[in-house]
Amino acid sequence: MPRISAEQAGGSNVCAFLDMIAVSEIGPALLANPLSDSGYRVLVGSTPAKPLFFTSYAAHPNIFNRATNSTAAGRYQLLNRYWVAYKARLGLKDFSPLSQDLIAIQQIKERRALNMILAGDFSGAVTAVSNIWASLPGAGYGQHENSLASLQAAYVAAGGVVA
């Protein structure tokens, strides 16, 4: 569950969409690991068998994983270079769970998907943001992509409504 409230996020569909992204990017097993703090402490390359976590929310951990050629971290697997830009743009003080939620919502807004989410256009919203999150269907990054059906099930399970 995201740390941002439904009121702050713009509605319960937005919170459910954030949960769906976390399920897609992190996976249910890592999200359930108490050390992951609901995914907010996960480093790229983590698996349930070999979890990788960071310990401080002071800033993005900026830990480069050679195996994945990435600095992605957090519930929404944000790259450090984007953290730097969003920190300044949104006036964030840290990489806390709330900051991570706010960045993900900003990314959704930038892809013009927020109104789709609010209207219950789940597949349209996923298509609109698929270039941000590699695990979404149609992302095209050569990584594992989850099916739209499984992600919609996660979204509905989190309280999202599909029109």
Q: Annotated active-site positions, please?
A: 25
State how far the alpha carbon of 151 is from the alpha carbons of 44, 69, 119, 135, in Å: 20, 26, 17, 10
Q: How far apart are CA 40 and CA 31, in angstroms?
A: 9
CB 24 within 8 A of CB 136: yes
Bridge partners, residue 77, by sequence? none
CA 35 from chain centre, in angstroms, equals 17
Angle subtended by helix axes 12-25 and 148-157, to nearest 10: 130
DSSP code of 73? Answer: B
Both tokens of 78, joined, read: 């944000």
CB-based contacts of 1, cutoff 8 Å, min separation 6: 15, 19, 38, 158
